[in-house]
Chain A
Amino acid sequence: MRRALLQPRVLWFSLLGVVLIVFPYAHGWPLFDGSINNLGFFTVEITEFRTFNLTMFGVWFLVVMSMNLLTGSSGQISLGHAAVVLVGAYTTGILFVEFGVPLALAVIVAGVFTGVVGGVLIGLPGARLAGPYLAIATFSLIITMPQILKLNGIDSLTNGALGIGIRPVEAPDFVNDVLGAVTGGAVAVDGRQWIYYMTIGTAVLMAVLLWNLTRSRIGRAFVALRDSEIGAEQMGVNVPFYKALAFGISSFYAGIGGGLFFVVQTFVAPESLRFNDSILFLLAVVIGGLGSILGSVFGALFLAFQAELISNLPDWIPGLSRVRDFERLSPVIYGSLLIVTILTFPRGLAGIVQSVRSLGRGGRNGALDLPLLSPIRGALRNLSAGLLGNSDSDGRGKKE
């Protein structure tokens, strides 16, 4: 047991935990206020805004895990996941504003509600639809969702096009009372820090649950039906049921993520999440790494920082600042990123990390093609080969 505590993995996780815990206070520390050049060449400056940034990372982490379970593990492509997240956000808002349910409870109930709705109303019928057809069905979901939320009959609940807003969350008094008593009044938690802890705590807890699930008979059944539907069925996996179950659990995660999205943003409207966001979620999963928790971490980092990254590009790449309305080109950048990712490292950033680690151990480089991606890769290879006039256009997308 004592030796287990000294494992590098345990040390790294402990270090990460400490960083996550002290982070909301770091902006006040002299080391990080931007006054000193603490890395020699690069000034690390942590502003208060970063706490909000990382809170949104927690929200996106839940959403990307949700997407990754569905698409990465069980191989079902959803283009409408933003709609599922919206359901979670609206349910939380309605429960809190209209029915006076405490926010924390509202988020949990919203998660369960979204999970049931997603599993039964989308997952069960969706289990009959193969790949692209499910994508089209879920696509229609995100297109219609804003109109559904604006329906006249339910606008007393949803507030129509105006959406639902709340005041920012404050930390409960008892938390500050206890903290004050323990530290002699030196440490207090404000609302922004409180919601940070709640979100990151929830995300970490649910990541642990998902980690457990992927290593259980249920998680293996998801991957099995993705790799070979008939093989899974003949080994005793009830394929339609497990597809719907994957959709249900995924929707539960998306619902919790949506609820926290609402609490963090203090606002949700029918257009808060749109088709674009659905595509971004899918992009995040592919870039981060399909079917792994680490991949979800990278995907969430991408979602949390992509806007900032794009707007900073002109500072790094000379000449780009002369392009007018550069930000509007972001879809082009995302598209290119997706193509490059699929062609060069199909297992995403997480795949690169795993390859580097297995090289370090002297093990084999397990650069596996995911069956899910190989048809897409084949198609893209053919396309690029055609454009470049290259004769080497065998798709190499075959499974075996």
Chain B
Amino acid sequence: MSLLEVDSLSIQFGGLVALDGVSFEVEAGAIMGLIGPNGAGKTTVFNCMTGVYVPTAGSITFEEHDLLQMQPHQIIGTGVARTFQNLELFGSMSVLENLLVGQHSSMRANLLDCLLRLPRAVNEQRQARDRAGEVLEFLNLSEHRDVPVAGLPFGLKKRVELARALVSSPRLILLDEPANGLSHEEVNDLIELIRSLRDEFLVTVLLVEHHMGLVMAVSDKVSVLDFGRKIAEGTPNEVQQNPAVIEAYLGAPRAQPE
């Protein structure tokens, strides 16, 4: 059984069919790319998985969890963490504090613990800081630990978001356009980084991306969406040769006169 199974997922916004029976599977330990032209429904898949949208039909199963039966805030507890296309960081907080919020769901201190600083709150806070420190170290963010996030440059903000998702020790991480707005060198670093997510952190990666170089370099498998339908799936090579994919990106060749 696959780690993640998305089965005939459909969602409509008014008259617009954003997803139309999309199915795919992600194997544990894989890096999977989800690509498609603008408006194909890639981010919508993420939003259905994490409870932001409620799909009209279909099912999403992560391990034994039926994600569609869960409240949005419960998703991260099952081991699925995500980043956002348009950053959703906590701007007034420091980098470290952002990573502490990232561990909110695994912390247990109740109101009394927090008000009185009882041992439970103090201990788990110390552990959370240590954990955040490790992730910051790994992502080369240690020097920015105590800086308010709102003042950081865009590339660093993206890395902080990745750190915030990673700090919850997810088994599946959803990256929404991680290469968006990055320079050429930064993309090369990102390729290494995504590989090490899997190899060192043992995280399965599902990636929505427009940067073809990145997707083709890191993905084991690529799924292609167009107008809410899955039109192709396979290895990066297979997908690049697929006529339906070429048509979706470049348009159909004009019909030859008989």
Q: Which of B77, B93, B104, B151 has the most CB of A within 10 A?
A: B104
Contact across chains for A228 and B89 when beta carbons are under 8 A apart: yes
- Alpha-carbon distance A220/B104, docked complex (angstroms): 9
Is residue B72 contacting chain A, with contact meaning CB distance below 8 A? Answer: yes
Contacts of A366 in B (CB 8 A): 148, 151
Residues of A within 8 A of B (CB): 209, 212-213, 216-221, 223-224, 226-228, 230-239, 245, 249, 291, 366, 368-371, 399-400
- Alpha-carbon distance A111/B100, docked complex (angstroms): 31
Cβ distance A57 to chain B, nearest Cβ, rounded Å: 23
Is residue B116 contacting chain A, with contact meaning CB distance below 8 A? Answer: yes
Cβ distance A18 to chain B, nearest Cβ, rounded Å: 25
- The 0/1 profile, CB within 8 Å of A marked 1, for residues 110-147 of chain B is 01011111000100010000000000000000000000
Interface residue from B91, B97, B115, B164 paired with A212 (Cβ < 8 Å): B115
Interface residue from A224, A228, A236, A239 paired with B76 (Cβ < 8 Å): A236
Contact across chains for B88 and A230 when beta carbons are under 8 A apart: yes
| Closest residue of B by beta carbon distance from A209 | B115
Is residue B204 contacting chain A, with contact meaning CB distance below 8 A? Answer: no
- The 0/1 profile, CB within 8 Å of A marked 1, for residues 183-212 of chain B is 000000000000000000000000000000
Contacts of B107 in A (CB 8 A): 217
Interface residues of B in 66-121 (CB under 8 A from A): 71-77, 81-82, 84, 87-93, 97, 100-102, 104-105, 107, 109, 111, 113-117, 121
Q: Which of A221, A231, A370, A400 has the most CB of B within 10 A?
A: A231
Contact across chains for A212 and B101 when beta carbons are under 8 A apart: no
- Alpha-carbon distance A369/B92, docked complex (angstroms): 8
Instruction: Report the interface size class on chain B.
Output: 35 or more
Contact across chains for B90 and A209 when beta carbons are under 8 A apart: no
Contacts of B87 in A (CB 8 A): 400
Is residue B59 contacting chain A, with contact meaning CB distance below 8 A? Answer: no
Knowing A231-B84, A400-B87, say if A217 contacts B125 (CB, 8 Å): yes
Contact across chains for B50 and A234 when beta carbons are under 8 A apart: yes
Cβ distance B173 to chain A, nearest Cβ, rounded Å: 12
Contact across chains for B92 and A368 when beta carbons are under 8 A apart: yes
Is residue B52 contacting chain A, with contact meaning CB distance below 8 A? Answer: yes
| Closest residue of B by beta carbon distance from A242 | B73
Cβ distance A62 to chain B, nearest Cβ, rounded Å: 15
| Closest residue of B by beta carbon distance from A241 | B73
- The 0/1 profile, CB within 8 Å of A marked 1, for residues 151-171 of chain B is 100000000000010001000
| Closest residue of B by beta carbon distance from A236 | B105
Q: Which of A213, A217, A368, A399 has the most CB of B within 10 A?
A: A217
- Beyond A220-B100, A226-B92, A230-B52, 17 additional contacts (C-beta under 8 Å) are A209-B116, A217-B100, A217-B101, A217-B104, A227-B92, A227-B93, A230-B88, A233-B72, A234-B76, A234-B84, A235-B102, A235-B168, A237-B104, A238-B71, A239-B73, A368-B150, A399-B91
| Closest residue of B by beta carbon distance from A229 | B88
Contacts of A217 in B (CB 8 A): 100-101, 104, 107, 109, 114, 121, 125
Contacts of B116 in A (CB 8 A): 209, 212
For the complex of A and B, the 4 pairs showing the least CB-CB separation, nearest first, are: A236-B105, A231-B88, A216-B114, A227-B90
| Closest residue of B by beta carbon distance from A399 | B91
Contact across chains for B91 and A235 when beta carbons are under 8 A apart: no
| Closest residue of A by beta carbon distance from B118 | A212
Q: Which of A213, A236, A239 has the most CB of B within 10 A?
A: A236
Contacts of B151 in A (CB 8 A): 366, 368
Contacts of A369 in B (CB 8 A): 150
- Alpha-carbon distance A212/B77, docked complex (angstroms): 26
Contact across chains for B91 and A234 when beta carbons are under 8 A apart: no
Knowing A213-B114, A216-B109, A221-B101, say if A237 contacts B89 (CB, 8 Å): no
Contact across chains for A371 and B72 when beta carbons are under 8 A apart: no
| Closest residue of B by beta carbon distance from A218 | B114
- Pairs A–B under 8 Å by Cβ, sample size 5: A212-B116, A217-B101, A220-B100, A234-B81, A249-B111
Contact across chains for A371 and B92 when beta carbons are under 8 A apart: yes
Contact across chains for B101 and A235 when beta carbons are under 8 A apart: yes
Contacts of B88 in A (CB 8 A): 228, 230-231, 234
Contact across chains for B121 and A235 when beta carbons are under 8 A apart: no
Interface residues of B in 24-81 (CB under 8 A from A): 50, 52, 71-77, 81
Interface residue from A236, A249, A399 paired with B104 (Cβ < 8 Å): A236
Contacts of B91 in A (CB 8 A): 227-228, 368, 371, 399
Cβ distance B43 to chain A, nearest Cβ, rounded Å: 12
Contacts of A228 in B (CB 8 A): 88-91
Contact across chains for B89 and A235 when beta carbons are under 8 A apart: no
Interface residue from B75, B92, B113, B150 paired with A234 (Cβ < 8 Å): B75
- Alpha-carbon distance A221/B109, docked complex (angstroms): 12
Knowing A217-B107, A238-B71, say if A224 contacts B50 (CB, 8 Å): no
Interface residue from A213, A233, A368 paired with B73 (Cβ < 8 Å): A233
- Alpha-carbon distance A221/B93, docked complex (angstroms): 11
| Closest residue of A by beta carbon distance from B150 | A368
Contacts of B71 in A (CB 8 A): 238
- Alpha-carbon distance A216/B72, docked complex (angstroms): 22
Cβ distance B157 to chain A, nearest Cβ, rounded Å: 9
Contacts of A399 in B (CB 8 A): 91
Contact across chains for A227 and B148 when beta carbons are under 8 A apart: no
Contacts of B168 in A (CB 8 A): 235-236
Knowing A227-B93, A368-B151, say if A220 contacts B101 (CB, 8 Å): yes
- Alpha-carbon distance A232/B89, docked complex (angstroms): 9
Cβ distance B112 to chain A, nearest Cβ, rounded Å: 10
